[in-house]
Amino acid sequence: MALPLVQEVHFPELSIPVTVAQMVHVLPAGPIPASPGDTLYLSNLDDIIGARVFTPTVYFFQSNTSNHETFSTILKTISDALANILVPYYPLSGRLRETENGKLEVFFGPDQGALLVEAHSEMGLDELGDLAVPNPAWEPLIYRFPNEEPYKLLDMPLVIAQLTRFKCGGFSLGLRLCHCICDGLGAMQFLGAWSATAKLGRLAVSPTPCWDREFFHPRDPPVVKYPHTEFMRIEEGSSLTRSLWQEKPVQKCYKITREFQVRIKAFACQLVGTPSARPSPSPSQWNTTTTTTTFDALAAHIWRSWVRALDVRPLDYELRLTFSVNARQKLLDPPLKEGFYGNAVCLACAVSKVSDLVNGDLSETTSLVRQARLGVSEEYLRSTVDYVQVNRPTRLEFGGKLTITQWSRFPIYESADFGWGRPLYAGPIDITPTPQVCVLLPEGDANADGTTMIVCICLPKEASDRFREFFCQIEDSTIMT
C-alpha cells in the first residue's frame, strides 16, 4: 500500500527525569591566537537581533554493544574532540559582551571555554516514542542554567553541550550553539569538524575555519538602498497575534513526500492539468517556471494555509513572510573565503494582503516568495549591513509575520556521526516559544531517499486542525489519508 503524500506524525507527551552528574569547562587543547583581554569583531549580520539567540538541537544515538564502550569513554571522546577543535574554532571558547551603541563583540578571559554537562536518565530511548520529529518534552536534554533569563547571551559559554545517558545504554547530545558565531551552514561546519575529530581520534578540520567578520564591515557613510520591510516595526492591527498567543500553541509535524512537493510546485507554476485544460505558457512564463523552486511553492502554500487556519482579519491587512537566504554564492567581488562559518544570510521578505492570500491563486503567492528570494543580491546584503548600522533593531518584530526556517538544506545527520553511526534523530526540539515560526526538517530515516521532508508548525489547537485541512489540499482535493 502506497504511503500518503502527507502524513501527520504524532509524538507522545512525556516527562523525562534527568539528573546532572557533573559540569566541566572544556578549554582549547592547545595555544590559540588570543590572550585574555583580546576581542574579536562581530559583523552586523552576526549581531542582528534575530541572531542574538542560542540554537538548541539534540542528537540521539543507539547503544553500541559491539565494542562495549562505557559511558565515561564516550564522554571523554566527546570532551577531548571538543577541546581539540576549540583550537582552530577558538572564538567559540570566548564570551560575548556589549560595546558602544549596544553592539556585541567576542572577548577573551581566563578559564572560559565551552561547557560540557554529564547527565543520566532512568528512562530508555524506546520510552521516548517515535524519534522522527521534534518533541517539546525533550527539553530536559538541553542544559539551561538555573534561573537563566530568556535570550541571555552576555558572559555565557558559546557552546553548551549536555551528554545524557539512558538506562538502555543509548545516549543523547543536547547542544546549544550561539547563533552570533555561526549561521546554519557554519554550525554544520563546526559540528562536522567536532564529530570527525571524535571519530578519528585526532584533529580533523576541513575546510580550515575562517573568521574574517570584517568582510561585512559597514560602508562609510552607510548606504541603505532598500526599505528592509523585514525589520520594520508594524503595529499589530489584525487578529493574528491575539489568535496565536491567547492560548498555548501546540506543535504539529507533517511528513511530506517528494511527490507532494512536486505537485505543489507544478500547481504553483500553473502547469497542472492536460494541455487542453490550460493554454500553453508564454516564453516569459516558462522563464518564471524554471526559476521557481520547490521552496517557493511550498513556502507559499504553508503561508496561505496558515493564514486561512487562523482566519485573520481584517482582509485588507498586510502580512509578511520572512525566510533566510544564503548569500555566500552571491558574494563575487570579492568572494567569501572558504571555511567562513559566520552569518552570511539575508532575511528575504514577501508582503501580501490577507484577502490575496485567502482568495488569490497559489501561483500569485509563489511569485511573491520567488521575487523576495531572488531580490537578495550582494547589494541587498550590503544594504542590510548598513541598515543595521544606522537603525540597529533592538527587539524581535512579530507583527503580521510568519518566518519559515529551512533546515532541510543542512546536512545535519551526516555532520553528526561522532563514531557511533548516524543519529536516530538530529534537529530542534521545541518551536512553541515562537509560534510564528515554521521549520522544514530533513527526514531522519537512514533508508529514506532524502527527498521526504518534515514540516513543523505551531498553532492553537482549533487552528491546527484547520491548518491540516488546508495544507493537505491541492486544487480543492484532499490528498492526505
Residue of 4, 5, 427, 8 whose CA lies nearest to 254: 8
Cα–Cα distances in angstroms (integers) from residue 418 to residues 203, 388, 421, in the given order: 13, 38, 7
DSSP string over 117-176:
EEEE-SS-GGGG--TTS--GGGGGGS---TTPPTT--TT--SEEEEEEE-TTS-EEEEEE
pTM above 0.75, yes or no: yes
Given a contact cutoff of 8 angstroms between Cβ atoms, the answer to whether 344 and 42 are in contact is no
264 & 388 share domain: yes
Domain edge (last residue) among 195, 216, 237: 216
C-alpha cell at 231: 525589520
Is residue 221, in this structure, part of any structural domain at all?
A: no
Q: Residue 402 — φ and ψ, nearest 5°?
A: -120, 135
pLDDT at 121 over 70: yes
333 & 254 share domain: yes
Q: Name the more confident of 467 and 240.
A: 467
Q: Name the more confident of 289 and 57.
A: 57
Is residue 76, in this structure, part of any structural domain at all?
A: yes
d(CA 403, CA 302): 11
Residue of 252, 46, 78, 88 whose CA lies nearest to 174: 78
C-alpha cell at 5: 503524500
Instruction: Identify the pLDDT of residue 465.
Output: 93
Instruction: Identify the pLDDT of residue 3.
Output: 65
Instruction: Identify the pLDDT of residue 280.
Output: 39
**Which pLDDT band holds residue 201 (cuts at 50, 70, 90)?**
very high
Instruction: Identify the pLDDT of residue 273.
Output: 34
Instruction: Identify the pLDDT of residue 92.
Output: 98
Instruction: Identify the pLDDT of residue 85.
Output: 98
Query: What pLDDT, in 10s, does the model give residues 430-461?
Result: 988 887 999 999 998 766 666 899 999 999 98
Instruction: Identify the pLDDT of residue 199.
Output: 97
Instruction: Identify the pLDDT of residue 238.
Output: 81
Instruction: Identify the pLDDT of residue 278.
Output: 35
Question: Are β-strands 345-353 and 425-427 bridged in parallel, bridged antiparallel, or unpaired?
Answer: unpaired
Query: What pLDDT, in 10s, does the model give residues 74-84?
Result: 999 999 999 99
Instruction: Identify the pLDDT of residue 243.
Output: 80
CA 54 to chain centre: 11
330 & 360 share domain: yes
Is residue 1, in this structure, part of any structural domain at all?
A: no
Is residue 409, in this structure, part of any structural domain at all?
A: yes
What's the whole-number mean pLDDT along residues 30-38?
97
pLDDT at 52 over 80: yes
What residue numbers bound the domain in which 332 lies? 229-478
Q: What is the CATH number of the domain that holds 244?
A: 3.30.559.10
What's the whole-number mean pLDDT along residues 33-62?
96
pLDDT at 194 over 70: yes
Contacts 24+ apart (CB under 8 A), 411-417: 411/188, 411/192, 412/57, 412/188, 412/191, 412/442, 413/442, 413/444, 413/446, 414/192, 415/188, 415/191, 415/192, 415/195, 416/59, 416/173, 416/191, 416/195, 417/195, 417/199
d(CA 322, CA 315): 20
What's the whole-number mean pLDDT along residues 108-123?
96
Instruction: Identify the pLDDT of residue 285.
Output: 43
d(CA 252, CA 222): 43
Instruction: Identify the pLDDT of residue 248.
Output: 82
Burial class of residue 48 (count of CB atoms within 10 Å of its CB; 0-12, 13-18, 19+): buried
46 & 137 share domain: yes
Instruction: Identify the pLDDT of residue 283.
Output: 40
Collapsed DSSP state (helix, strand, coil) of residue 108: coil
84 & 180 share domain: yes
What's the whole-number mean pLDDT along residues 396-417?
91
Question: Are β-strands 159-165 and 114-120 bridged in parallel, bridged antiparallel, or unpaired?
Answer: parallel
User: Using alpha carbons only, how large is the chain's radius of gyration in Å?
Assistant: 23
Query: What pLDDT, in 10s, does the model give residues 203-217?
Result: 999 999 999 999 999
Instruction: Identify the pLDDT of residue 258.
Output: 93
Cα–Cα distances in angstroms (integers) from residue 137 to residues 163, 277, 427, 442, in the given order: 17, 49, 14, 20
Per the structure, the count of domains in the chain is 2
151 & 189 share domain: yes
Q: What is the number of helices (H) and of strands (E) in the chain?
A: 10, 18
Out of 28-37, 72-81, 96-105, 111-120, least confident range:
96-105
What's the whole-number mean pLDDT along residues 419-431?
94
182 & 37 share domain: yes
Q: Provide the residue count of the chain.
A: 481
243 & 392 share domain: yes
Is residue 3, in this structure, part of any structural domain at all?
A: no
pLDDT at 295 over 50: yes
d(CA 479, CA 240): 28
191 & 308 share domain: no
64 & 91 share domain: yes
Instruction: Identify the pLDDT of residue 429.
Output: 94
**Which pLDDT band holds residue 2 (cuts at 50, 70, 90)?**
low
- Residue in the block written with cell 569583531: 41
190 & 245 share domain: no
**Which pLDDT band holds residue 68 (cuts at 50, 70, 90)?**
low
Q: Measured on CA atoms in the order 434, 435, 441, 446, is the torsion positive or negative?
A: positive
164 & 298 share domain: no
Domain edge (last residue) among 161, 191, 216: 216
Residue of 172, 13, 153, 12 whose CA lies nearest to 96: 153
d(CA 331, CA 381): 9
Is residue 74, in this structure, part of any structural domain at all?
A: yes
Is residue 4, in this structure, part of any structural domain at all?
A: no
Query: What pLDDT, in 10s, does the model give residues 336-386?
Result: 999 999 999 999 999 999 999 999 999 999 999 999 999 999 999 999 999
Cα–Cα distances in angstroms (integers) from residue 151 to residues 123, 144, 156, 283, 433, in the given order: 30, 11, 11, 49, 12
Average pLDDT taken over every residue of the chain: 90
Q: Name the more confident of 136 and 233.
A: 136
Is residue 223, in this structure, part of any structural domain at all?
A: no
Domain edge (last residue) among 156, 182, 216: 216
Given a contact cutoff of 8 angstroms between Cβ atoms, the answer to whether 325 and 348 are in contact is yes
Instruction: Identify the pLDDT of residue 272.
Output: 34
Q: Residue 468 — φ and ψ, nearest 5°?
A: -55, -40
Given a contact cutoff of 8 angstroms between Cβ atoms, the answer to whether 352 and 318 are in contact is yes
